[in-house]
């Protein structure tokens, strides 16, 4: 068949459309040594300490549903392209501190919003406009995550299940925020950069090597990601992963690959692998993810 100009035009059109469409972009945490954060197990337990969730705006069933639904959003049952599963458990015990104790905790902070000292006093105040924080602790050289803890700010914000109770859309949607936090939990960073945010490091690059945009001028596709770092009252958009978020999950933990921690070496060599045994503090990179900040604050009375 003779190839005429129409064929070229078609080919060009296809190529141009392909080039113009942004690649699926996601952003990972990196250690100072340049290693990307990642878990080495396929199943990640996380214990939600629900005792201190004392707001009347949500039933205990709604809190449980928010936790399990947020975990499911990042798990294989809802994402055929990954092997990862987050496995939440519920506890009525007093919550631990958010520290590297090889125990992943989801903690509701209802009396203070700060980094706690061992004696329970406040060591460092958190930003009162932060809805939640996730702390990932990883090996500096390998990026292997050892521990992740999520803290939710009940001191400055009122939470709700905005889908079940649309009349509470002036509150913050718990599932929305938890789904974002669990993205940090699996090792993802924000999809944009806020130069005004306290403690911000250099502008991160996404998986394609492109610097992430400023948050306030980010394209709609970035603003619609679960890992976009801002939420307004009533926002439920982050409950569902965007294609970019899913690309991050499945790029790091792809279905069909064996998780590093499930290899045969692991069973016979738990103490000699990089992640084996209790790591010394110097080996650790701790990332405090300034999580979502809200458009406006809502202080409890």
Q: How far is the CB of 288 from Zn ion (least distance, A)?
A: 10
Spatial distance between the Cα atoms of 251 and 139, rounded to a whole number of angstroms: 20
Q: What is the DSSP string of 1-27?
A: ----HHHHHHHHHHHHHHHHSPPP---
Spatial distance between the Cα atoms of 147 and 137, rounded to a whole number of angstroms: 5
Nearest alpha-carbon partner for 137 in 104, 108, 106: 104
Identify which range of 168-176, 198-206, 235-243, 284-292 contacts Zn ion by CB under 5 A. Answer: 284-292
Helix (H, G, I), strand (E, B) or coil at 124: strand
Residue nearest to Zn ion (CB): 291
Spatial distance between the Cα atoms of 102 and 82, rounded to a whole number of angstroms: 23
Q: How far is the CB of 18 from Zn ion (least distance, A)?
A: 31
First to last CA, the chain: 77
Q: How far is the CB of 125 from Zn ion (least distance, A)?
A: 18
Which residue bears the tokens 């199943």? 43
Q: How far is the CB of 186 from Zn ion (least distance, A)?
A: 12
Pick from 130, 291, 293, 294 the residue near Zn ion by CB under 5 A. Answer: 291
Q: How far is the CB of 189 from Zn ion (least distance, A)?
A: 8
| Interface positions, 225-254, toward Zn ion (CB under 5 A) | 229
Nearer to Zn ion, 183 or 279 (CB): 183
How many residues in the shown chain lie near Zn ion by CB under 5 A? 3
Nearer to Zn ion, 164 or 286 (CB): 286
Residue 211: count of CB within 10 angstroms of its CB = 11
Nearer to Zn ion, 25 or 283 (CB): 25
Interface positions with Zn ion (CB under 5 A): 229, 289, 291
């Amino acid at each position: 068949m003779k190839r005429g100009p129409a064929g070229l035009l078609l080919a060009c059109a296809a190529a141009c459309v392909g080039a113009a469409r942004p690649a699926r972009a996601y952003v990972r945490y990196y250690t100072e040594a340049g290693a990307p954060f990642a878990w080495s197990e396929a199943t990640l337990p996380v214990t939600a300490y629900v005792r201190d969730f004392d707001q009347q705006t949500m039933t205990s069933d709604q809190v449980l549903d928010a936790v399990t639904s947020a975990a499911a959003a990042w798990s294989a049952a809802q994402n055929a392209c990954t092997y990862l599963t987050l496995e939440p458990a519920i506890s009525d015990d007093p919550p631990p501190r958010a520290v590297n104790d090889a125990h992943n905790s989801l903690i509701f902070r209802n009396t203070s919003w700060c980094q706690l000292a061992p004696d329970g006093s406040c060591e460092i105040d958190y930003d009162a406009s932060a809805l939640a924080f996730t702390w990932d602790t990883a090996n500096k050289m390998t990026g292997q995550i050892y521990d992740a803890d999520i803290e939710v700010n009940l001191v400055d914000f009122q939470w709700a299940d905005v889908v079940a109770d649309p009349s509470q859309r002036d509150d913050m949607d718990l599932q929305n925020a938890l789904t974002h936090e669990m993205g940090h939990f699996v090792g993802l960073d924000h999809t944009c950069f806020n130069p005004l945010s306290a403690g911000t490091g250099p502008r991160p690059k996404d998986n394609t090597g492109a610097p992430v945009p400023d948050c306030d001028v980010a394209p709609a596709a970035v603003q619609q990601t679960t890992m976009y770092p801002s939420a307004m009252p009533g926002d439920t958009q982050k409950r569902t992963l965007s294609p970019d978020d899913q690309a991050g999950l499945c790029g790091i933990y792809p279905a069909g690959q064996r998780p590093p921690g499930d290899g045969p070496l692991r069973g016979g060599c738990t103490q000699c692998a990089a992640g084996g045994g209790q790591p010394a503090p110097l080996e650790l990179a701790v990332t405090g993810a300034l999580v979502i900040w809200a458009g406006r604050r809502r202080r409890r009375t």
